[in-house]
Chains A and B, each alone.
Chain A
Amino acid sequence: MTTSTVTVPAPSRTRQRAGTPDSRPARLRRRLAQWGFVAPAVVFMLLFFGYPLVRNVVMSFQHYTPRTFFTGAAPFNGLDNWSKVFQDALFGKALWHTLVFTVGSLLGQFGIGLALAVFFSRRFPLNGLMRSLILLPWLVPMVVSGIVWRRILDQDTGVLNSFLGALGLRGHTPWLTSPGMALLSTILVNIWIGIPFNMVILYGGLQEIPGELYEAASLDGASAWRTFRSVTLPVLKPVITVVLVLGFMSTVKILDLILALTDGGPADATQTLGTLTYQNSFVQLDFGAGAVVGDVLILVSAVFAVFYLRANRSEGK
């Protein structure tokens, strides 16, 4: 990085300021120019995040049909969409699947990610190289990962079943084709995808813990586990919160992976709020019903956002 060597003695600056007192219009022009830097981003974010949020809520009270896009007519229909969605047993199922999927994924990703972060905090040859390579699953497009796993988990010709069969274990497990197994399989794949992200952030957090803390603990004769529990975890807490919240946000709205693995099937066994929104809106072209499920997603995310901000504030950030 090129740190510039230009340094200016402070006095000349003040003299300059005093010499040309900013007139009001000049100051205003400068402020406007400064806002010019920020305004495009603000406008963009309002258009691509703020507006869709509001529009989605409005849409959930409108009647959309496949013909809407020709006629442009989407009349308001009160709570019709809502009662339609809530009366459908599929909504309850999707909500439950989302909960199970999110909790299961987070537990697995975080647990294994933390274990790997601790492991890679040791010093050993090739450590840095391995830490980079392990990121690969996270960098590959999620749809692609889903499709690769679809091949691996294939009941008859997938490598996982041949491997298990060779070990004399259940070699014909219908990972993705039985309604009882499919959700578990999607969770396992999502854990695999999420481990690198958790590991990298937690590893970063671990490196920031001052070594003196560990020295003090070892002087006190604390065991490794004790040190981890009483030194590492408390200091790591803000980072843990961030990892879990970001993990939650990206997991609860999952769509790509499930479409690639199971398309929500078999028999809706892996239908989540994300896929249900997609199905309602883009497959059945009932954007009103899709918007209702979307609203529920927004609500769930908002509750967690508040929870997160509270946690952040109490950390005194």
Chain B
Amino acid sequence: MTSPAPTTPRRRWGSTLAGVLILCVMLFPLYWMLDTALQPGSGLLQVDPVPGSLDLSGFTKALGDQGGHLLTSLAVALGAVAICLAISAPAAYGLARFGLRGSRTIVFGTLITQMVPGIVIANALYNSYVDLGLVNSYFGLMLADASLGIPFCIVLMRSFMVSIPGEVIEAAQLDGAGLVRTFVQVVLPMSRNSLITSGLFAFLFAWSDFMFALTLNTTDHVKPVTLGIYQYIGAHVGDWGSVMAASVLSAVPAALLLVLAQKYIAAGITGGSVK
């Protein structure tokens, strides 16, 4: 960053130093998670601030115990993303462009859904799921997890699709493209960025879900890693090394997305909540 600033370079680097300190405090718990994971032998002892050697046995054990749950999380989160985008992208387009009567009410309702407490949903949903046979099913959990992202994605994509120039869409229709073809061939490609951002967030919401995993499953059949780790600490209190290793593994998608898609993440947080 070399933009001209009114302050002297020395003061600017002073700010950088202060920023690094803030970052150290904020990220310390995550460092500690990694540090503990690399000291699987520490058990109930105190953990050294820096691992003495690179002992990956905690990770091996965590992969053995939680590897399946990680895959479950991945499958459920990807399914939730697919459902979420398939439902919210057309809706965002419809609400942005068609001028349907009731659009405003629907957008308003979408905002209101974010205020419904999750545990209330789980409370009622569990009973419906029992009736429908969706308890302990992948599909049931995917649907519930998709609900975490749908309102957010509709709001985010709609605010983008409103700004697509009307001429482009009309031109496509003049070329004889119907509603669906215009949407698929013109609108979706143009909305690529908002689509990616929405997908990333839908994935993170579903991947991080704990409440639906906890309440909509009564057996071990469908067990995402968040639930796996939670039950792990009940059974393996002494084995903090592998608990932390499992935690590190479950935090990998968040870290990856941050590295690979940081501009989308920051844009999504602001766009999805303020606009």
Query: Which chain A residues have a beta carbon within 8 Å of chain B's beta carbons?
Result: 1-4, 6-8, 12-13, 16, 30-31, 33-38, 40-42, 44-45, 48-49, 51-53, 55-56, 59, 69, 116, 119-120, 122-128, 130-137, 139-145, 147-152, 156-157, 159, 162, 192, 195-197, 200-201, 204-205, 239, 242, 246, 249, 252-253, 255-256, 259-260, 274, 277-278, 281-282, 287, 290-291, 294, 297-298, 301-302, 304-305
Complex contact A287–B127 (CB within 8 A): yes
Known: A116-B22, A120-B19. A298 touches B270 (CB 8 A): no
B114 at the interface (CB under 8 A from A): yes
Structural contact, A53 and B27, CB atoms closer than 8 A:
no
Residue A144 contacts which of B45, B127, B143, B229 (CB distance < 8 angstroms)? B229
Known pairs A52-B116, A55-B124; A13 contacts B170 (CB<8 A): yes
**B75 within 8 A of partner (CB):** no
For chain B, the bracket of interface size reads 35 or more
- Given the interface pairs A16-B174, A252-B117, A255-B119, the reply to whether A139 lies near B90 with Cβ below 8 Å is no
Q: Does B71 contact A (CB under 8 A)?
A: no
Shortest CB distance B155–A (Å): 11
Q: List residues 93-151 of chain B with CB under 8 A from any CB of chain A.
A: 93-95, 98, 100, 103, 106, 109-110, 112-128, 130, 143-144, 146-147, 150-151
Chain A residues, Cβ within 8 Å of B171? 4, 6-8
Q: Apart from A151-B33, A281-B126, list 13 A-B contacts with CB within 8 A.
A: A4-B165, A34-B179, A125-B12, A134-B23, A136-B258, A139-B204, A140-B208, A143-B208, A147-B247, A156-B44, A259-B210, A281-B215, A294-B117
Residues of A contacting B192 in the complex (Cβ-Cβ under 8 angstroms):
1-2
Closest CB pairs A-B (n = 3): A41-B91, A37-B94, A52-B124
Give the residues in chain B near A143, CB-CB below 8 Å. 208, 210, 226, 229-230
Expressed in whole angstroms, the Cα–Cα distance for A38 and B106 within the complex equals 9
How many angstroms between the C-alpha atoms of A3 and B191 in the bound complex? 10
Within 8 A of A (CB), among B254-271: 254-255, 257-258, 262, 265-266, 269-270
Q: Give the complex CA separation of A102 and B86 in angstroms.
A: 35
26 contacts between A and B (CB under 8 A): A33-B178, A35-B100, A37-B98, A38-B90, A38-B94, A38-B103, A42-B91, A45-B113, A49-B121, A52-B124, A119-B19, A125-B12, A135-B258, A135-B266, A141-B254, A143-B210, A144-B229, A148-B32, A151-B32, A157-B46, A159-B32, A200-B270, A253-B118, A281-B126, A287-B127, A301-B117
Which positions 164-209 of chain B face chain A at CB distance < 8 Å? 165, 167-168, 170-172, 174, 178-180, 183, 186, 189-190, 192-193, 204, 207-209
Docked-complex contact A48 and B121, CB < 8 angstroms: yes
Q: Is the C-beta of B242 less than 8 angstroms from some C-beta in chain A?
A: no
B274 touches A201 (CB 8 A): yes
Chain B interfacial positions (CB closer than 8 Å to A) = 1, 3, 5, 7, 12-13, 15-16, 18-20, 22-23, 26-27, 29-30, 32-33, 36, 44-47, 49, 86-88, 90-91, 93-95, 98, 100, 103, 106, 109-110, 112-128, 130, 143-144, 146-147, 150-151, 154, 165, 167-168, 170-172, 174, 178-180, 183, 186, 189-190, 192-193, 204, 207-211, 214-215, 226, 229-230, 233, 240, 243-244, 247, 250-251, 254-255, 257-258, 262, 265-266, 269-270, 273-274
Report the separation of the CA atoms of residues A37 and B100 in the bound assembly, to the nearest whole angstrom: 11
Given A16-B174, A116-B22, A145-B29, A55-B127 contact (CB < 8 Å): yes
Given the known interface contacts A37-B91, A282-B215, the answer about A45 and B229 at a Cβ–Cβ threshold of 8 Å is no
Tally A-B pairs: CB < 8 A: 314
| Contact assessment for B30 and A136 in the assembled complex, using a CB-CB cutoff below 8 Å | yes
Q: Complex formed: what's the CA distance from A150 to B33 in Å? A: 11
Note all chain B residues with C-beta closer than 8 A to A49: 113, 116, 121, 147, 151
- Residues of chain B contacted by A157 (CB below 8 angstroms): 44-47
Asked if B120 and A53 sit within 8 Å, CB to CB, the answer is: yes
Quick check: B258 and A151 within 8 Å, CB to CB? Answer: no
A204 touches B274 (CB 8 A): yes
Main secondary structure of the interface of B (DSSP, over half): helix
Cβ-neighbour of A4 out of B23, B190, B270 (below 8 A): B190
Q: How far is the CA of A49 from the CA of B115 in the complex (A)?
A: 10
Which residues of the other chain, B, contact A260 by a CB distance below 8 angstroms? 210, 230, 233
Question: Could you tell me the distance between the alpha carbons of A150 and B125 in the complex, rounded to whole angstroms?
Answer: 30
Q: Judging by beta carbons under 8 Å apart, are A124 and B226 in contact?
A: no
Q: Are the CB atoms of B120 and A297 closer together than 8 Å?
A: yes
Query: Please, how many angstroms separate the alpha-carbon atoms of A197 and B146 in the complex?
Result: 21
Chain B residue at smallest Cβ distance from A6: B171
Between B103, B127, B167, the greatest number of chain A beta carbons within 10 A of the residue's beta carbon is seen for B127
Are B258 and A152 within 8 A (Cβ)?
no
Chain B residues whose CB sits within 8 angstroms of the CB of A302 once the complex forms: 115
In the complex, A16→B171 CA distance in Å? Answer: 12
Interface centre among B27, B93, B94, B126 (most CB of A within 10 A): B94
* B244 CB contacts on chain A under 8 angstroms: 148, 151
> Contacts A37-B91, A141-B226, A147-B233 hold; do A159 and B47 have CB atoms under 8 A apart?
yes
State in angstroms the CA–CA spacing of A234 and B12 once bound together.
Answer: 28
Chain B's nearest CB lies how many Å from the CB of A269? 19
| Whole-angstrom CA separation of A36 from B88 in the bound complex | 12
Assembly CA distance A260 to B167 (angstroms): 53
Residues on the A chain within 8 Å of B183, using CB: 37
